[in-house]
């Protein structure tokens, strides 16, 4: 292997030994305890180990696999067993040896430029410790792998941007998001593939749930607005403008209340910081779009406005969440508040109460499962938020306005985490971390430029 052969003799055998040990552990345990999932997982591990010389350094390939292929196939029924596709397990296995080598080689360098990686790594360590608690089912190893892959994706993004522009990565992520949004709109127009939740037909795209589609749009919409305002070429501006309209319409059709609230907060904050000329244009743009939307809703008899009113008035889901949160928090006490009850303990607890096995609130879920130590997960998002907030309100740099966009993305993440677990599902979590990484690296580079260069590279 190209990288392994460059290591010193002792390090080479140490690395190979660990990699081979992991392979056999996956093969033995996964085939015994995970059945066909284990077969897909271990097959991917072995194949990647054999192909590491070809796969190592293919950052774009792995970003494509985790941001496009996995989200698509996670809800592809012919390959779906339980709640996860075999493709996801195979790609997990395919990523693991390369991820191990890349993290071993690049983690230190990445942390220097991306300090929010530190709490994510500590959180992974917390989960590993919890994994060895007595009575922990082997199946929860997927939780460890999910966090490990998240670290891997951040490092892939970090290395990919060394040779490619942020605009390139934003562009092909946008293509995926828009295609999912168009799928959602198609579902509304045809009635095919929608979910009936609390009596309201709700679109879900191909991501499997309205909340997941809504959260992905919430995370990426500030990027679309940023690219639209930052575009100097008319065709590019039209492209991102159309993306904003399509994603916004799809967001409305999910009928997810927390996504509505996040969207409203995003627009309110952004409008507050927009320069006056742009406020004027945005006002008339929103007004014109709203009139067109109302006309289409009336002429095509889509009944979207009526469904939105019914959805907002319906408090059934919120009352259900309050009941679940009360159950979980009532058993959090001094005996377990520091280290929690262990991985996936919320699922077991709620199942025993004959409730749906999700906390519908990440803060409550992580507090129950990991106790106060779960704060490391929050720090993963708080650290870049503080950095951008500092630039926006305290820093003495050119054009503070650009820092509002990653702040909006992170605010959206925190709001979404209040209402659902979906931000921890691969697609929203991975998109959130990739977007934050891109903004973090981009604006760090801007801060290192001269004043003249900043004027060229920033908005307006």
Burial class (CB in 10 A: 0-12, 13-18, 19+), 443: buried
Tell me the β-bridge partners of 201. 196
Closest of 423, 459, 373 to residue 133, by C-alpha: 373
Question: CB within 8 A of 175, min separation 6: which ones?
Answer: none
Lowest mean pLDDT among 74-83, 373-382, 451-460: 451-460
Confidence of residue 450 (pLDDT cuts 50, 70, 90): very low
pLDDT for 78:
66
CA-CA distance, 250 to 10, in Å (whole number)? 54
Confidence of residue 1 (pLDDT cuts 50, 70, 90): very low
pLDDT for 79:
65
Average pLDDT over residues 428-439: 94
Q: State pLDDT tens for residues 307-321.
A: 788 877 877 788 888
Q: State pLDDT tens for residues 269-300.
A: 888 887 777 777 777 777 777 787 788 777 76
Q: State pLDDT tens for residues 219-253.
A: 999 999 999 888 888 899 999 999 999 999 999 99
- Where is pLDDT greater, at 336 or 370? 370
Question: What is the DSSP secondary-structure string of 113-173?
Answer: H-TTHHHHHHHHHHHHHHHTSTT--GGGHHHHHHHHHHHHHHHHHHHHTTTS-HHHHHHHH
pLDDT for 17:
58
Lowest mean pLDDT among 208-212, 278-282, 382-386: 278-282
Tell me the β-bridge partners of 81. 84
Asked if pLDDT for residue 454 goes beyond 80, the answer is: no
Confidence of residue 36 (pLDDT cuts 50, 70, 90): low
3-state secondary structure of 197: strand
Q: Chain-wide mean pLDDT for the chain? A: 82
CB 365 within 8 A of CB 346: yes
């Amino acid at each position: 292997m190209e990288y392994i052969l460059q290591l010193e003799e002792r390090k080479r055998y140490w690395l190979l030994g660990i990699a081979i040990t992991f392979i056999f552990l996956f093969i033995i345990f996964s085939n015994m305890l995970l059945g066909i999932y284990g077969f897909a997982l271990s097959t991917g591990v072995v194949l990647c180990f054999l192909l590491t010389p070809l796969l190592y350094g293919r950052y774009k390939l792995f970003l494509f696999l985790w941001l496009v292929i996995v989200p698509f196939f996670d809800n592809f029924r012919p390959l779906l067993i339980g709640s996860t596709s075999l493709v996801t397990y195979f790609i997990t296995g395919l990523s693991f040896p390369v991820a191990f080598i890349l993290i071993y080689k690049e983690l230190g360098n990445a942390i220097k430029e991306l300090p929010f990686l530190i709490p994510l790594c500590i959180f992974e360590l917390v989960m590993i410790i919890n994994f060895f608690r007595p009575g922990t089912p082997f199946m929860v190893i997927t939780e460890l792998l999910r966090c490990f892959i998240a670290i891997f994706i951040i490092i892939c993004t970090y290395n990919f941007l060394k040779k490619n522009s942020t605009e390139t990565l934003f562009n092909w992520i946008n293509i995926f998001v828009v295609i999912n949004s168009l799928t959602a709109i198609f579902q509304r127009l045809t009635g095919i593939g929608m979910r009936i939740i609390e009596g309201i037909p709700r679109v879900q795209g191909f991501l499997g749930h309205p909340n997941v589609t809504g959260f992905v749009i919430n995370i990426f919409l500030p990027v679309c607005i940023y690219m639209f305002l930052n575009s100097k070429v008319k065709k590019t501006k039209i492209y991102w403008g159309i993306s904003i309209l399509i994603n916004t319409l799809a967001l409305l059709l999910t009928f997810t209340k927390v996504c509505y609230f996040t969207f409203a907060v995003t627009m309110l904050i952004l409008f507050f910081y927009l320069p006056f000329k742009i406020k004027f244009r945005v006002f008339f743009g929103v007004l014109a779009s709203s009139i067109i939307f109302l006309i289409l809703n009336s002429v095509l008899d889509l009944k979207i406005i009526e469904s939105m009113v019914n959805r907002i008035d319906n408090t059934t889901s919120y009352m259900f969440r309050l009941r679940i949160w009360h159950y979980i928090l009532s058993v959090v006490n001094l005996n377990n508040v520091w280290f929690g009850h262990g991985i996936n303990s919320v699922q077991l607890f709620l199942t025993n109460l004959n409730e749906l096995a999700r906390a519908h609130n990440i803060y409550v879920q992580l507090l129950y499962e990991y106790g106060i130590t779960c704060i490391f997960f929050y720090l993963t998002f708080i650290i870049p938020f503080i950095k951008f907030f500092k630039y926006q309100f305290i820093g003495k740099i050119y054009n503070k306005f650009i820092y509002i966009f990653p702040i909006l993305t992170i605010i959206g993440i925190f709001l979404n985490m209040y209402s659902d677990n979906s931000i921890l599902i691969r697609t929203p979590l991975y998109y959130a971390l990739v977007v934050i990484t891109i903004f973090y690296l981009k604006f760090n580079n801007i801060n290192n430029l001269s004043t003249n260069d900043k004027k060229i590279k920033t908005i307006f």
